[in-house]
Amino acid sequence: MGVSWTREQQQVIDLRKRNILVSAAAGSGKTAVLVERIIKMITEGEHPVDIDRLLVVTFTNAAAAEMRERIGAAIEKALEEHPDSEHLQRQLTLIHNAQITTIDSFCLYVIRNHFHEIDLEPDFRIGDEGELKLLKEDVLRGVLESNYEQMSPEFAAFAKGYVSGKSDAKVAEMILSLYEFSMSYPWPMEWLTSGIRGYEIPDVQKMAEAPWMQPLVLHLRSVLADLVKKLRIAHVLTLEENGPDVYEKVIASDLAKFEELAACKNFLELYEKLTAVTYDRLPSSRGFSGDAGKL
């Protein structure tokens, strides 16, 4: 081809036997380079591959059509230079059945050809989004209802922990989002099971060390730091002229307790101090002689 590739383009064209991620602006020559790579693979060396041995996937049908056309044109051009090449002539025929396609059509192609291996009926079809949403909701309802009926101790504990009030809508939502999330992993069940492991905690010490505990402690500490700030402001207010001095002692005592809590570094310390905290009674403001607006 008459194109003179840039150094980066040439690098992409020549790299083999590894994964490559090419990220570049629109019109900068990504497709051109990809086409050139493919051409190289089906023309170079002693045993060039056949075009129908490659899988070329794009996001849109238009991009796939463009790709096929550009590869076809490149093969024709190569044929002009090597009119006797049987290999190139064969490529022109094979390109019609080559897997140059969208990711959706490729998946459909794989399933059409292997439906029996995954126990699928041969007349399966692709459901539309709305249909799938209804199906999922139906299945979810069914799963929840049969679990309510059987009410195993595990499910009872789960429902007690997560169903709030009369509606289990939040639980249903949670199950669905866990499902969607897990399905974005290549091995959803493995991911879910490994998630459960995070909750298999034999004692408080292990809980304090759990990976999910760290962000929780950080959050608690930031809430406590915020409370300390608010209590400090409240304390200053009690000392103002005509301020609610009746509250001064109680707020000073709360402030001291919260400063101690905010200084806790880990869950065990926090747990001990937080559960032991007691509050003094806020005294009555009867007989307060200062500015009532400041009470």
Ligand X SMILES: Nc1ncnc2c1ncn2[C@@H]1O[C@H](COP(=O)(O)OP(=O)(O)O)[C@@H](O)[C@H]1O
In the block, residue with structure tokens 């069914």? 142
Binding track over 25-44 against Mg ion, x by CB under 5 A:
------x-------------
Three-state secondary-structure class, residue 130: helix
DSSP codes of every residue in 246-292? GGHHHHHHHHHHHHHHHT--SHHHHHHHHHH---PPPPP-TT--S-G
CB of 181 to Mg ion, least distance (A): 31
- Strand locations in the chain (E): 55-58, 99-102
Among residue numbers 111 through 130, which ones bind ligand X (CB under 6 A)? none
From the list Mg ion, ligand X, none, which binds 55 (C-beta under 5 to 8 Å, kind-based)? none
Binding track over 140-169 against Mg ion, x by CB under 5 A:
------------------------------
CB of 194 to ligand X, least distance (A): 39
Q: 41: Cβ–Cβ under 8 A, 6 or more apart, which residues? A: 48, 49, 54
CB of 34 to Mg ion, least distance (A): 8
From the list Mg ion, ligand X, none, which binds 9 (C-beta under 5 to 8 Å, kind-based)? ligand X
Q: What is the DSSP letter of 100?
A: E
- Strand locations in 59-167 (E): 99-102
CB of 77 to ligand X, least distance (A): 12
Please give the torsion angle defined by the CA atoms of residues 282, 284, 287 and 290, in that order, rounded to the nearest 10 degrees. Answer: 40
Q: Are 241 and 254 in contact (CB under 8 A)?
A: no
CB of 57 to ligand X, least distance (A): 15
Among residue numbers 2 through 61, which ones bind ligand X (CB under 6 A)? 3, 5-6, 9, 24, 26-32
Question: Residue 3 or 135: which CB sits closer to ligand X?
Answer: 3
Site residues for ligand X per CB under 6 A: 3, 5-6, 9, 24, 26-32
